[in-house]
Amino acid sequence: MRIECWHPLGGVERWDPFRGEMNRLFDSFFRRPTVVETAPGACAWMPVVDMYETKDDVVLTFEVPGVREKDIALSITGDMLTVRGARAFDRELEKESYHRVERAYGQFERTLELPMPVQADRVKATYRDGVLEVKLPKAEEVKPKAIKIDIL
């Protein structure tokens, strides 16, 4: 029995479990959520992110190659940061001319829980070379404070 998959750009291709399914298995195991199935024949994607903290800030860097700055929106609600956007498929070629389409296109949304309270009104976001960097200043109550010790 031959297993075949429908392709969104038209046509039918032979199903190879080690090409797509195994990659998704390893991605989910190693917590790399990049493409998720939303409905049969439809895909959504999520940008990968690094999160770290400095003395004064919580910093997040999102990989969003091919997304224009104007197509990205950030919001903070409580201790949750959400980044939304879209990567457009802007090629006007005939379906038959494609040999492979592996990059995901369309809407994305990624919501992350922040590890500590931040000052939402002082957030700074920069975008360069497909990387969105978001700096969230820590709330004053979580910053370490030096205490002077008097010597008697």
- For 100-112, the pLDDT digits (tens) are 777 888 899 999 9
In a domain, 32, yes or no: yes
In a domain, 113, yes or no: yes
Lowest mean pLDDT among 32-36, 56-60, 73-77, 103-107: 32-36
In a domain, 150, yes or no: no
Domain annotation covers residue 86: yes
Locate tokens 């990387």: which residue?
131
CA dist., res. 122 & res. 140, Å (int): 12
Residue 151 lies in a domain: no
- Please check whether residue 146 lies inside any domain of the structure: no
Number of structural domains (the chain) is: 1
Tell me, yes or no, whether 147 lies in a domain. no
Question: Does residue 152 belong to any structural domain of this protein?
Answer: no
Q: Identify the three-state secondary structure at position 58.
A: strand
Q: Is the pTM of this model over 0.85?
A: no
Length of the chain measured in residues: 152
On the question of pLDDT at 34 being above 60, the answer is no
User: Residue 126 forms beta bridges with which residues?
Assistant: 133
- Whether 74 shows a pLDDT value over 90: the answer reads yes
The enclosing domain of 125 has a CATH number of 2.60.40.790
Q: Which domain holds residue 121?
A: 4-141
pLDDT at 95 over 80: no
Q: Which residue has the tokens 């979580």?
A: 142
